[in-house]
Every structure is written in C-alpha cells, then in structure tokens.
A and B are shown apart, each in its own frame.
Chain A
Amino acid sequence: MAMKRDPASPRGAARPYRRGTTDALPLVLGYLPFALVLGATIARSEVPNLVGWLSSPLLFAGASQLAAIDLLDAGASVLVILATVWVINLRHVMYSGALAPRFLNSSRRWQWLAPYFLADPVYTLSAVRFDDYPRPADQRRYYLGLGLTLWTAWNLMTGAGLLVGTVLPPSWPLELAVPFTFLALLVPTVTDRPTLLAAAVGGVVAVAAHAAPFHLGLLIGAAAGIGAGLLSEVGLARASGSPRW
C-alpha cells in the first residue's frame, strides 16, 4: 500500500495492472483470518461444504456470506436470508454511484463486468489510487489487477478455511483482522475536515444503531456520516465566503 511513485515510469506511477496486484497482497493477508473463520463456519454448519464454499464466487462479500451461512444453518426462511444479505450489501450501491463517473466512458461490457469485483477494498483502494492514473484505460487495468487478485485469493482462502479453519483455537481474535484492515483503508480516504466528520459521525451513529434489525445499523451510520460530510462542506464554503453551490 505504501508504494512510492516510480519516477522511471512514463506515467509517473507504477504500471497499473501490476500495481493493482501488489496492492492486493497485504489485503489478502488482512482477509486471511476472516476467510478461515468463514470456511470453519461453513464446515461446522449443516450447509454442505461445496455449496457453502460456492457463496464465495457467487457473492464475493464476506460479511453477507457469513450471515447467510448462519441463517441457512439456523433454518431461517428464504425471505429473511435474502433480505439480510441484500441489506448488508446495499452499501455497494453507494460504491457503484461513486465509481460511475470513473467508468462513464468505458464500454458497456466493462460496465457490466467491473461490478462483479466491487468489494469494499476494491472500491476503497480504487477511489484513492485512480487519481494516480489520469487515463481511464489505466484505471481499468488497476481495478482488474486488484479485483482479480482479491477474488482468486478469497476463493482459495475460504476453501482453505473449510479444511483447516476448524482446528484453529477459538480464543484467537481472528475476527479482529477485518476491522483493522478496514481501518488502514479508511485513513487515506480522510483528507480534510468534512471527510473526517463523515467518518466520525458514521462510526458513532453505527455504534448507536448497532442493535437495529437486519444489520441496518451500518446503513444508518453510513447515511448519517455522508450527510454530516455534506453539511460540513456547505458550512466550510459559507464560512470562507465562497459558496460552492
């Protein structure tokens, strides 16, 4: 993640596809414990191993996979399972909207292919790194390098979790790797006071709403954070006497 710009490169940054794959490697490390936990959960559940593992290529969204396996194991109704998965993944609509301007002039085929890889870290890192690549073709190469590497690793690691996850001591804080990984992803997205406020309000409200049904707390927190960021941007613009809209 901390790669420096390569001055020898004609575009002033490392080759995009390659850089996407190297950016993915520390993320793979961060996701490994979570993948093992998910694999172990599948192995311990009533859900057949192969079917449970298929949730990785089908969903490519760890938190919702874990919730789906838990609910399937508990014999929940189809509607509850689908509602839970989709509410957890509703945040991806925000990622889709945030990336839409970047892919505006891409081919239709790309606009349908790219979203398949649009997991949290793929969006977050792309949003930060795309600024290094002014050409849309390079942005797509970066995105594909990152997305394909993570996707491949996720499928392999959840498979490994099926085999070895159940032998890991339950006292290991494996579930902690994800929040700390996301913390490292969060830091570079906070660039000024409005984005700091968006993060602070998003976090506090999500904690206050953590008991909301269907994992809605995440969405409530995210919406509050985005609203706070927008408001503070307007306030800052007013204060400096240069209205932006």
Chain B
Amino acid sequence: MVTRTLVVLIIAGIGTYLLRASLIVAFGRASVPAGVERVSRFVAPAVLAAIIAPALAAPEGRIDLFDLRLVAAVPATLVAVRTGSLAVTLAAGLGSYLLLDLLI
C-alpha cells in the first residue's frame, strides 16, 4: 500500500514536472512561434479567473450567484485594484466574508 501510493505520487510528480518543462524546453533551442507570444499575455488572466470564479460562485458544486463568497469578492477586488497589495486583499476578502456570514 505504501509503496503503491508512493509510486503513484512519484509518477504524478514527474508528469507534472514534464508539463511545466514542456514548452520552455521545446522552444528553448530555436525560437518561440509568434502565435505563442500572442497568446501568452492572456494566459494569466484567463487561467486565474477560471480557478477563482467556480471557487466563489459554485463552491458546493452548485452555481449560487448570491453565495457570500462571491459577494465578498466585490470588496476584495476593489481593494486589490486600489492597493495592489496581496495581504490587504486577502484581509479584505476574508474579513468581508466573515462579517457577512455573521450578519446574515
């Protein structure tokens, strides 16, 4: 059991590492296709939003647009835009959620 679990995690880890290395290594010797450079500036906004949105709008596996998590994201976003500070954004988001949870 222990060996099997460890082997699964090692293979999963090697695969994850290879996914991360893939294009850095593949393009590393020659040049990067123009299309990849055009796409690259959309990677962070699209991927991050795709991670965040379901965690806030469908946290229990069902879509709930009035979930307090999503409501708390509004002040958190405003604070993030205004301050650019990760710590303050985190405090604003978690603080708003806890406050809303307390009040409602």
Q: Mark A residues whose CB is within 8 Å of B.
A: 1-2, 26-27, 29-30, 47-48, 51, 54-55, 58-61, 63-64, 68, 72, 78, 81-82, 85-86, 89-101, 103-104, 106, 108, 111-112, 114-116, 118, 120, 123-124, 127, 173, 175-190, 194-196, 198-208, 210-211, 217-226, 228-230, 233, 245
Contact = CB atoms under 8 A, between A and B. Distances in A.
Nearest to A215: B54
A114 to B, nearest CB: 7
Contacts of A177: 90, 94
A92 B101 CA distance: 35
Given A96-B23, A183-B73, A229-B46, A203 B52 contact: yes
A177 B27 CA distance: 35
A60 to B, nearest CB: 8
B46 A207 contact: no
A205 B49 CA distance: 10
Interface residues of B, number: 71
B104 interface: no
A183 B80 contact: yes
A7 B24 CA distance: 33
Nearest to A124: B44
Interface in B10-60: 10-13, 15-17, 19-29, 31-32, 36-59
Contact of A182 (B23, B40, B48, B87): B48
A23 B22 CA distance: 26
A183 B74 CA distance: 10
A94 B42 CA distance: 10
A85 B28 contact: no
A2 B85 contact: yes
A202 B12 contact: no
B2 interface: yes
Given A58-B10, A179-B73, 10 more contacts: A59-B16, A98-B36, A104-B27, A108-B29, A115-B21, A180-B73, A202-B47, A206-B51, A225-B47, A230-B42
A199 B8 contact: no
Contact of B46 (A63, A114, A116, A198): A198
A85 B42 contact: no
A202 B51 CA distance: 9
Nearest to A58: B13
A82 B47 contact: no
B9 to A, nearest CB: 5
Contacts of B17: 115-116
Contacts of B57: 207
Contacts of B8: 68, 72, 78, 81-82
B1 to A, nearest CB: 8
B6 interface: yes
Given A101-B40, A183-B89, A55 B9 contact: yes
Nearest to B93: A180
13 contacts: A30-B86, A48-B2, A58-B9, A58-B10, A85-B12, A173-B98, A184-B89, A196-B45, A202-B46, A210-B63, A222-B47, A223-B46, A225-B49
